[in-house]
A and B are shown apart, each in its own frame.
Chain A
Amino acid sequence: MKQVLLGNAAIALGAVTAGVKVVSGYPGTPSTEVLQTVAQNNINKKIYVEWSANEKAALEVAAGASYCGARSMVTMKQVGLNVASDPLMSLAIVGIKGGMVVLVADDPGPISSQTEQDTRHFGEFANIPVLDPSSPEEAYEMAVYAFDLSERLGLPVILRPTTKVCHASGTVDVIDTVYEYEPEGFVKDPGWVIFPPLSYRRHLEIERQQPEISYEFDNISFNLIRGTGKKGIACGGVTYAIVSDVLNELNVPENDVMLLKIGAVFPAPSGLYEKFLKSVEKALVLEELDPVIETGLFHTLALKRMTTPVSGKLDGTVTPAGELKFDNLKKYICDFLGMTINEKNSIKSMELPARPPVLCAGCPHRASFYAVKRAMKGRKHVSCGDIGCYTLGNAKPLEMTDTCLCMGAGITIAQGIKRIDAETDVFAFIGDSTFFASGMTGVANAVYNNSNINIVILDNSTTAMTGHQPHPGTGKTMMQTESPKIDIGAVIKALNVGFTTRVNPFDLDAAAEAVKEAADYEGVSVIIFEAPCIAVAKPEKAVTIDGCTGCMRCIKEIGCPAMHTDNGRVSVDDALCYGCGLCIGICPGKKIRRGDSC
């Protein structure tokens, strides 16, 4: 049946079609909707679906299921694979039994990520196949194929879409039947226990498989040559789709350009590369992120002692960073084909106010940051941030995020800063989901090593940034069951932290007082700011302002998006205000008051 599906939904339904029995993952843009769509299409709960505590846990859960002969999938974003790379590298050696797909979404731009790292390298690093879809339609077909390939090879397979495939939708012909089988269960075998001699033997075996997979990729429909020209363009991923549109717009005839499209990218389809490089007089490679296809072509040139000129990222023709959009690609292609670009008579842009993303009106993080800022007024302090909505605390007027590196790093970066900058009060901010994902180790490190830092846990009862997923502290699972809530305060207590306090950040005076006490405490202190994300809490009635004097203190202090200025007076947008009341405690003239309760 034809359905308009988001790329991530297409992958999910492909996995369902292929008979996936276990899907685990950790939320991360642009991968999140894959697991969510499996959960939404989990008829009779035949598939076990979980949000795991982090990507490493997720990959190991999926691996265990695969050991038993079940088809499994693990989902994450590209930086999540860094966390899961330890089990992945070893799993590539040990191998799997039931088809196992490692879904890793890359983010050229980057649009919503710390880095632009290219997961295709992980395939090469771990010696496992990588599939790179160019559209949601192809992503569906690749998902179905990936399970079969993985099972035949006994290796996990990486399916690596990028944002513009994950978050694009296409018209997908979904197969109604589901592959049926009964997993055998765990069968004891020394092959599941990684030891040096086994690793050596398996390494030889895996290297022996590579040319066989490469041959399969020479002949697979995801890799193809279109057109017959003497000038060749090689591309992969969504760039193939955009390049095709550019060639259509430029009315380039099929016998002018030979297009090499690569979807099954590792092991490199070297037979196809050779055919392409023999057919053309020169080639241009267009691919986002790193020159992976390009390097593959150069390997073929070197091994076959060929001299076809190849341009792309390695010779500086193509930009090394960021997305490749229609206009960039058009320019590269016109230069390559010797065509002049007819400048379109396009509409010129005008200068407009910037609109960066912000903490929502009513967001408890705003109150937490403000409480720390107020308590630390006049004291030298550093705020180490982490990954989540609260990274937005870096923006004016709060400016309460001085560092941000990766999941869980805030707590440990803070310890390093304090070792050198001993006179500064150092704060580490971390969200509840991030705390469970990778914050607890940092707290143990701080306690063990007698650090003197202040940890602020922003507990908003959800994984907010990625769209409000449950986590170990919420007691909700993706199987619609309840589980025991893990209490963050109890975890902190068990880790032997000397000073712990819980406070509602909207109780501004109490919150600021708690911060002062924590900062004055010698040793590790933890403040748990408890207030739910506005997306999971019921809003109060909007605040009202009567007799604003126009001092602007509220706007300048907290920068709430529901507050506006009209003719030098502050007004509140009722549709946006959640009635959190943070502004009430800030107005020096006491002109803001709570609306009546809903």
Chain B
Amino acid sequence: MDILISGVGGQGTILASKILANGAVTDGSKRARTGETIGMSQRGGCVVSHVRTSDTYSPYIPAGGADLLLSFELCEGARNLPMLKKGGTAVINTAKINPVTVSLGASVYDEEKITEYIKSNCKAYFLDADRLAKKCGSLKAVNVLLVGTAFGLGLLDISKTSLYAAIKNNVKPEFYKMNIKAFECGENYALTLKG
């Protein structure tokens, strides 16, 4: 399975990709690969993480090849939509992070147009994951919350036990409980999205 995670530098896409890759390997995948954005883009620029759990050579998903797009930010979801294969699914955080180019008036962030574009091109689920993550204790948990949502929607071929084990191995012990709460919150919210 090929999963593309998109967002803004600082949102924690790398942790989400680690959890998915480690979860897949614990489940018995022969191998999992990820490709990360580390460097200057982490300062509030566009970031993507590629996660591949099937037997490929390269960690990088070709354009039009992703089964699932997990976007931590609305505009970044739209930016990476062409990475999704026809018939693929997108899970999109509707919370906006305005690029400075927008505040300075050099470009326009048209939420309605962006949402319409995503809806008309794929099967998409939208949720305000920022709001839900804050309710769980921290905006930082938005990454794990969205993984929980994708899991709740039945979009991941990884078991819950393995995902929990991966969360445990990749977050500081003091944040484990909060992250599990966020995962469950995302998973439960998926039920309302399915409905």
A-side interface residues toward B, CB under 8 Å?
Answer: 2, 4, 6, 29-30, 33, 111-112, 135-136, 163-164, 167-171, 238, 240-242, 244-245, 248-249, 325-327, 330, 344-350, 352-360, 389, 392, 395-397, 465, 555-556, 559-561, 563-565, 575
Please judge, given known A-B contacts A4-B34, A326-B63, A350-B78, whether A355 and B101 are in contact too, CB under 8 Å.
Answer: yes
The chain B residue sitting closest to A111, CB to CB, is: B39
Contact with A along B102-115 (1 / 0, CB 8 A): 11101111000110
Report whether B37 and A167 are in contact in the complex, using a CB–CB cutoff of 8 Å: yes
What residues on B are CB-neighbors of A171 within 8 Å? 25, 29-33
The reply to whether the CB of B79 lies closer than 8 angstroms to some CB of chain A is: yes
Contact of B103 among A4, A326, A465, A564 (CB under 8 A): A564
Contact of B31 among A30, A170, A248, A360 (CB under 8 A): A170
- 14 A-B pairs besides A353-B107, A353-B108 with CB distance below 8 A are A29-B39, A29-B40, A111-B39, A135-B33, A169-B33, A248-B57, A346-B63, A349-B79, A350-B114, A352-B75, A356-B100, A357-B43, A358-B45, A556-B104
Please judge, given known A-B contacts A168-B33, A169-B36, A358-B44, whether A349 and B104 are in contact too, CB under 8 Å.
Answer: no
A395 to B44, alpha carbons, bound, how many Å? 13
What residues on A are CB-neighbors of B82 within 8 Å? 346-349
The reply to whether the CB of B123 lies closer than 8 angstroms to some CB of chain A is: no
Please judge, given known A-B contacts A354-B107, A356-B45, A555-B103, whether A167 and B57 are in contact too, CB under 8 Å.
Answer: no
A43 to chain B, nearest CB (A): 18
Contact of B59 among A170, A348, A356, A564 (CB under 8 A): A170
The reply to whether the CB of B137 lies closer than 8 angstroms to some CB of chain A is: no
Contact of B36 among A167, A240, A242, A344 (CB under 8 A): A167
Contact of B40 among A2, A244, A325, A357 (CB under 8 A): A357
Contact of A242 among B22, B60, B63, B109 (CB under 8 A): B60
The chain B residue sitting closest to A349, CB to CB, is: B82
What residues on A are CB-neighbors of B107 within 8 Å? 353-354
Contact of B64 among A344, A357, A392 (CB under 8 A): A344
The chain A residue sitting closest to B140, CB to CB, is: A575
What residues on A are CB-neighbors of B32 within 8 Å? 4, 169, 171
A553 to B9, alpha carbons, bound, how many Å? 26
Please judge, given known A-B contacts A170-B33, A348-B82, whether A245 and B45 are in contact too, CB under 8 Å.
Answer: no
Report whether B79 and A352 are in contact in the complex, using a CB–CB cutoff of 8 Å: yes
**Listed residue (B42, B57, B139) with the most chain A CB atoms within 10 angstroms of its CB:** B57
The reply to whether the CB of B21 lies closer than 8 angstroms to some CB of chain A is: yes
A359 to B100, alpha carbons, bound, how many Å? 10
Contact of A356 among B18, B64, B78, B101 (CB under 8 A): B101
What residues on A are CB-neighbors of B35 within 8 Å? 164, 167-169
What residues on A are CB-neighbors of B25 within 8 Å? 2, 4, 171
The reply to whether the CB of B81 lies closer than 8 angstroms to some CB of chain A is: yes
B-side interface residues toward A, CB under 8 Å?
Answer: 8-9, 18, 21-22, 25, 29-46, 56-60, 62-65, 75-76, 78-79, 81-82, 84, 86, 98-104, 106-109, 113-114, 117, 121-122, 130, 139
A2 to B24, alpha carbons, bound, how many Å? 12
A163 to B35, alpha carbons, bound, how many Å? 10
Report whether A357 and B45 are in contact in the complex, using a CB–CB cutoff of 8 Å: yes
Report whether B62 and A353 are in contact in the complex, using a CB–CB cutoff of 8 Å: no
Report whether A357 and B9 are in contact in the complex, using a CB–CB cutoff of 8 Å: yes
A115 to chain B, nearest CB (A): 15
What residues on B are CB-neighbors of A556 within 8 Å? 104
Q: Sort A-B residue pairs by CB-CB distance and give the 4 closest, nearest first.
A: A112-B39, A357-B45, A353-B107, A326-B62
Report whether A347 and B86 are in contact in the complex, using a CB–CB cutoff of 8 Å: yes
What residues on B are CB-neighbors of A29 within 8 Å? 38-40
Q: List 7 A-B contacts (CB under 8 A).
A: A245-B57, A344-B64, A346-B64, A350-B114, A357-B42, A396-B106, A575-B139
B71 to chain A, nearest CB (A): 12
A555 to B99, alpha carbons, bound, how many Å? 12
Report whether A327 and B99 are in contact in the complex, using a CB–CB cutoff of 8 Å: no
What residues on A are CB-neighbors of B100 within 8 Å? 356, 358, 395-396, 559-561
Please judge, given known A-B contacts A111-B39, A347-B82, A353-B102, whether A326 and B114 are in contact too, CB under 8 Å.
Answer: no
What residues on A are CB-neighbors of B86 within 8 Å? 344-347
Report whether B43 and A360 are in contact in the complex, using a CB–CB cutoff of 8 Å: yes
The chain B residue sitting closest to A247, CB to CB, is: B57
A556 to B103, alpha carbons, bound, how many Å? 9
**Listed residue (B35, B43, B78, B114) with the most chain A CB atoms within 10 angstroms of its CB:** B43
A565 to B31, alpha carbons, bound, how many Å? 46
What residues on A are CB-neighbors of B81 within 8 Å? 347, 349-350
What residues on A are CB-neighbors of B75 within 8 Å? 352-353, 355
A563 to B100, alpha carbons, bound, how many Å? 8
B25 to chain A, nearest CB (A): 6
A395 to B43, alpha carbons, bound, how many Å? 13
What residues on A are CB-neighbors of B43 within 8 Å? 357-360, 389, 392, 465
Report whether A135 and B114 are in contact in the complex, using a CB–CB cutoff of 8 Å: no
What residues on A are CB-neighbors of B76 within 8 Å? 355
